[in-house]
Copies of this chain bind each other. A is one copy, B any other.
Amino acid sequence: MSLDKVLAQIDADLDASLERLKELLRVPSISTDPAYRDDCARAADWLVNDLQSLGLAAEARPTPGHPMVVGKGGDGARHLLFYGHYDVQPVDPLELWHRDPFDPAVEETADGKVIRGRGAADDKGQLMTFVEACRAWIAVHGELPVKVTMFFEGEEESGSPSLVPFLEENADELSRPDIALICDTGLFDPETPAVTTQLRGLLGEELTITGPAMDLHSGSYGGAARNPIRVLSRIIASLHDDDGRITVPGFYDGVPEISDELRAQWAGLGFDADGFLGAVGLSEPAGEKGRSALEMIWARPTCEVNGISGGYTGDGFKTVLPSKATAKISFRLVGEQDPHAIRKSFRAMVEAMLPPDCSAEWHDHGASPASVMSTDDLAFEKARQALSDEWPRPAAFTGAGGSIPIAGYFKTILGLDSMLIGFGRDDDLIHSPNEKYHLSSFHRGIRSWARIIDALKD
């Protein structure tokens, strides 16, 4: 079966592929906000219909949260499981978008054409690269040369509460493929594709400190009453030492130093730390002293505050002493760090720091360990070659700072190794206003999957 014809079909059909993607991007499937529940279901249904139009047996499977989309088709010696997620991040602050986040469009930029809209890069645009590659194979050859199981989640941006139970309940069905393909990562640089082989884990915690039983007037009580914002600030300030190391007891247990071999490979990538930081208005890596920026984001654990609120935050001024203050705090984990042990140690450390008359309330926002792939499977080398054939520069095995817990679950629940291959760029503004996906990411991404399907079919 000819790969060239498939690639030509992809090129010829690109405009229609884009229109399909834009349809999906118009659905505001924000999974973390209950107000968008129906939109998440609509996005799932859109995918089911699209997969059915390719002749796949597809359905939206209900969960206590948002539905899972499962689609099956194709035939051949090999069986690939493909994963993406159809839910997206919230869009606030909305006033910083230069267009409606759910009215996507192709825009000309100094850096080429981009598809602008929430979810363009994370992860609807990526997910559709695989669907479009399958569409082209089927259009040219009438069928796929491999068995395919597509598995699209709708809760990736909200801690994936239904994922583990769903995988466990359907392990029999979903463990049949030979390997998993996960499309939720990025290129190394605009010319260099990557197979991501190590991913950080994620521990999410929400901490609310309560001091007085009610909001107080800072004139009447200021000086005598405990202020929970000050208490929370002291706690946050104490989470890092002056060298940028995290002070939670036992936090660094299981954090490995990267191997000399990988260090050498990474050094050879010529990562442009100045450019990486400069693109977002920064000039100095802000993490642990003595580590490179690439280490900080790929191979070192972190503790960050993702949100804080307390007291009066509207226009003007209100001299209130608030009753409560809240922070959302996340840890990125590497190597063998145990998220549950760290949660326990973190909470104990905070409770021990509480001054009199203060209490802490906790809300668990998920916990997943880091993933480190074994690249022994021949499929890794075949995929690296297929990617190298498509892109200007050879593909690399890289790390990634983000957390894609699904890779860990595929391993532990389904027994599947995962290949993490994606086409995003660092400046895609995922999770931020004005998210975009380069048209070349989309186009070459589709072509890359066509090549990988071809390479893995035997």
Binding site for B on A (CB under 8 A): 32-34, 89-90, 92-93, 96, 157-159, 186, 200, 202, 204, 206, 211-227, 229-230, 232-234, 236-240, 273, 276-277, 280-288, 293, 296-297, 300-302, 304-322, 325-328, 330, 332, 355-357, 365-366, 400-403, 426, 429-433
Contact = CB atoms under 8 A, between A and B. Distances in A.
A233 B232 CA distance: 8
Contacts of A356: 283-284, 286
Contact of A317 (B224, B296, B308, B366): B366
Given A216-B431, A216-B432, A286-B355, A224 B310 contact: no
B330 A224 contact: no
Q: Which of A223, A236, A314, A319 has the most CB of B within 10 A?
A: A223
A214 B312 contact: no
Given A282-B226, A314-B92, A315-B34, A297 B202 contact: no
A402 B320 CA distance: 11
Given A213-B281, A308-B311, A431-B215, A236 B226 contact: no
A250 B400 CA distance: 48
Contacts of A222: 297, 302, 304, 330, 332, 401
Q: Which of A89, A206, A236 has the most CB of B within 10 A?
A: A236
A284 B218 contact: no
Count of this chain's copies in the oligomeric assembly: 2
B321 A311 contact: no
A240 to B, nearest CB: 7
Given A304-B321, A317-B204, A320-B306, A430 B217 contact: yes
Given A217-B432, A282-B226, A306 B312 contact: yes
A219 B402 contact: yes
Given A282-B211, A312-B328, A313-B307, A400 B219 contact: yes
Nearest to A292: B224
A330 B218 contact: yes
A426 B220 contact: yes
Contact of A214 (B300, B310, B325, B429): B429
Q: Which of A214, A317, A330, A432 has the most CB of B within 10 A?
A: A317
Contacts of A285: 224
29 contacts: A33-B315, A90-B314, A93-B215, A96-B214, A206-B317, A211-B282, A216-B432, A219-B402, A219-B403, A220-B430, A221-B297, A223-B287, A223-B288, A223-B297, A223-B332, A224-B273, A224-B286, A226-B284, A233-B237, A283-B357, A306-B318, A306-B319, A307-B311, A307-B318, A308-B310, A309-B309, A312-B328, A313-B328, A319-B403
Across chains A and B, which 10 residue pairs bring their CB atoms closest together, nearest first?
A: A219-B402, A213-B281, A32-B316, A307-B311, A237-B237, A223-B296, A233-B236, A223-B287, A317-B365, A309-B313
Nearest to A365: B317
